[in-house]
């Protein structure tokens, strides 16, 4: 028996035979060609086929993991449409008079190297995407088929897995996966979490494991190869307990989220787009605590119109049938870039022009979104919250703009509902002045991801800093408590919409702090609800 320590990207237990997955290695040879125009036409046809394949992958991912997980394949489609990428391939074909496979491989390597050399880990991760799309085009040119399946449910062991490979696998036969490469912020890692697949990364894999029995412990990060009978029995019992636990959690559907002392907690869902609604409703969300409106901008080739936004917001409001829907206004910048915004390249985008700063410097974009939100509020219980607030002046300016938009709608005779306005607390600045900010708004929603990043001065997307990144840091927890206290003194409610909201190791402490609302990924609603219902301690 071997036991190897890796890094977990999703918890859970997986037990089954190991399949050592190797990609078909296509040897791309450099061939001299005479008909460069014909070779370019061949390349362009391959691009069309690759786009069609990505479209099918998007539809498959949409059904299995929802909009937020499927977006990567739209990103890949856009990367294949990139002028710089296509111009490079065609230029190599024409000037060097070489075959399309060689031109694509060279361009893919060059672009991947550029991304890998960037300091920002988000862009470093795009190097993998660049290789993925280039390999797809090369496979089309060489007539190589897509990933094939296997007979029985298995644990996949691989050097690395591209998002496209992860989605192509038959979900019913993919028990879990283990890779040597990868990071917890990669698109493959995100897909694993969305698909609830136990997965480990950063393990020194060996082909000799193929066919042996394996165990993934996604809680400890351990990978067992050829386990001893008593270890196998222990993990089979642990897996059975886990499945029974999930069954018991599912029995909570429809039950109130109330502590034993009688305090009702709002337990809402975070969603990335309209297509994530089924997951929120299927997991019995009490409302939508974070509707990331930026998906409308990320998916569009140009600024989404007021009507486009109105239709999306209206659909969510109507579907939730009177339950609260909190729409976060546009939050792009940093790791979420949109080409048509033409934002300047920044040395430190996490602290640059992003979120509400873009809205306040481009009020015409902001007002379009606010009009759409207000119009949709006539069809349901909508609230709005503003990200990355650091001052009272910002809030007052926002309220002025909102008043202007309401006046415009009144003048046009367009109805709208009563819309609560809240802000996200994501910076130490907003925490320190939360007593002043509470006088200006209806609620607080604490974005713990950015709050932790800015408090600890650690880039949360930099894998090299994982050992220093501690979301349970006492400074962060004290800040959360300070915000809740100041909210209650002003008579408003305070919630958490960042990843800490789903951290069941902290749920009791949040109850003791007096947190009023937790908004989590849909799959975490039942586990969090169970702990809230069992909580017996005092609340502020």
Q: Is the dihedral of CA 504, 425, 450, 66 positive or negative?
A: positive
Neighbours of 243 (CB within 10 A): 12
Structure tokens given for 14: 């997986």
From residue 479, alpha-carbon distances to 244, 292, 429, 454, 513 in Å are 36, 24, 11, 12, 11
Listed residue (468, 502, 55, 485) closest to 289, CA to CA: 502
Q: 266 forms bridges with which residues in the sheet?
A: 517
Structure tokens given for 425: 């607390």
Q: Where are the alpha helices (DSSP H) in 66-204?
A: 67-80, 83-96, 100-116, 121-142, 163-168, 187-194
- Residues 405, 411, 417: CA angle, nearest 5 degrees: 60
Q: Is the dihedral of CA 267, 273, 274, 278 positive or negative?
A: negative
What is the DSSP secondary structure assignment for residue 252, as one 8-state letter? T
- Residues 494, 500, 506: CA angle, nearest 5 degrees: 90
Listed residue (370, 291, 301) closest to 328, CA to CA: 291
- Residues 340, 345, 348: CA angle, nearest 5 degrees: 130
Instruction: Let me know if 497 is a catalytic residue.
Output: yes
CB burial class (10 A; 0-12, 13-18, 19+) of residue 7? Answer: middle
Contact (Cβ atoms closer than 8 angstroms) between residue 221 and residue 5: yes
What is the DSSP secondary structure assignment for residue 380, as one 8-state letter? S
The Cα 117–Cα 113 span in angstroms is 6
Q: 526 forms bridges with which residues in the sheet?
A: none
Contact (Cβ atoms closer than 8 angstroms) between residue 132 and residue 76: yes
Q: How far is CA 369 from the centre of its chain?
A: 22
Q: Which residues lie closer than 8 Å to 434 by C-beta, 6 or more apart?
A: 425, 444, 482, 483, 486, 487
Contact (Cβ atoms closer than 8 angstroms) between residue 185 and residue 463: yes
In DSSP notation, 178-234 reads EESS--TTSHHHHHHHHTT--EEES----GGGTTSEEEEETTTTEEEES--HHHHHH
Q: How far is CA 402 from the centre of its chain?
A: 29
Neighbours of 234 (CB within 10 A): 13
Kindly name the residue from 76, 187, 245, 488 that is annotated as catalytic: 187
Catalytic residues: 187, 497
């Amino acid at each position: 028996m071997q036991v190897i320590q890796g890094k977990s990207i999703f918890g859970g237990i997986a037990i089954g035979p190991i399949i050592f997955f190797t990609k078909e290695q296509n040897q791309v040879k450099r061939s001299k060609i005479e008909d460069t125009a014909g070779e370019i036409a061949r390349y362009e046809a391959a691009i069309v086929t690759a786009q069609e394949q990505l479209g099918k992958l998007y539809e498959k991912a949409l059904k299995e993991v929802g909009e937020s997980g499927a977006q990567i394949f739209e990103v890949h489609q856009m990367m294949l449409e990139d002028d710089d990428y296509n111009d490079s391939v065609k230029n190599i074909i024409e000037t060097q008079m070489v075959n399309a496979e060689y031109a694509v491989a060279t361009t893919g390597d060059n672009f991947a190297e550029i991304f890998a050399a960037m300091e920002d880990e988000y862009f470093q991760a795009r190097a993998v995407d660049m290789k993925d799309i280039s390999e797809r085009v090369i496979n089309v040119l060489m007539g190589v088929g897509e990933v094939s399946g296997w007979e029985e449910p298995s644990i996949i062991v691989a050097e690395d897995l591209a998002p496209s490979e992860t989605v192509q696998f038959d979900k019913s036969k993919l028990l879990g996966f283990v890779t040597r490469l990868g990071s917890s912020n990669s698109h493959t890692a995100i897909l694993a979490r969305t698909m609830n697949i136990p997965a480990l990364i950063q393990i020194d894999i060996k082909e000799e494991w193929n066919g042996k029995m394996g165990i993934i412990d996604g809680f400890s990060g351990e990978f067992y190869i050829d386990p001893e009978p008593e270890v196998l029995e222990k993990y089979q019992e642990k897996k059975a307990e886990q499945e029974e636990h999930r069954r018991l959690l599912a029995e909570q559907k429809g039950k109130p989220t109330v502590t034993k002392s009688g305090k009702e907690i709002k337990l809402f869902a975070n969603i990335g787009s309209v297509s994530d609604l089924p997951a929120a409703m299927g997991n019995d969300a009490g409302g939508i605590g974070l509707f990331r409106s930026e998906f409308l901008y990320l998916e569009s080739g140009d600024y989404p119109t007021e009507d486009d936004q109105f239709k999306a917001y209206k659909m969510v409001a109507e579907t939730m049938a009177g339950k609260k829907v909190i729409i976060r206004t546009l939050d792009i910048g940093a790791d979420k870039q949109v080409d048509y915004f033409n934002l300047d390249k920044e040395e430190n985008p996490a602290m640059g022009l992003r979120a509400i700063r873009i809205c306040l410097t481009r009020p015409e974009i902001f007002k379009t979104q606010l009009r759409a939100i207000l119009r949709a509020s006539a069809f349901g219980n909508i609230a709005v919250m503003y990200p990355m607030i650091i001052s009272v002046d910002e809030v007052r300016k926002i309220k002025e703009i909102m008043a202007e938009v309401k006046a415009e709608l009144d003048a046009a005779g367009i109805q709208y509902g009563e819309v609560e306005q809240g802000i996200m607390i994501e910076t130490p600045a907003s925490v320190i002045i939360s007593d002043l900010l509470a006088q200006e708004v209806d609620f607080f929603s604490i974005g713990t991801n950015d709050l932790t990043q800015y408090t600890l001065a650690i880039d949360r997307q930099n894998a090299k800093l994982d050992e220093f990144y501690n979301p349970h840091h006492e400074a962060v927890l004290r800040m959360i408590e300070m915000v809740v206290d100041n909210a209650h003194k002003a008579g408003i409610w305070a919630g958490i919409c960042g990843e800490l909201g789903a951290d069941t190791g902290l749920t009791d402490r949040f109850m003791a702090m007096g947190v009023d609302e937790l908004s989590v990924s849909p799959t975490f609603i039942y586990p969090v609800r169970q702990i809230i219902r069992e909580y017996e301690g005092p609340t502020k």
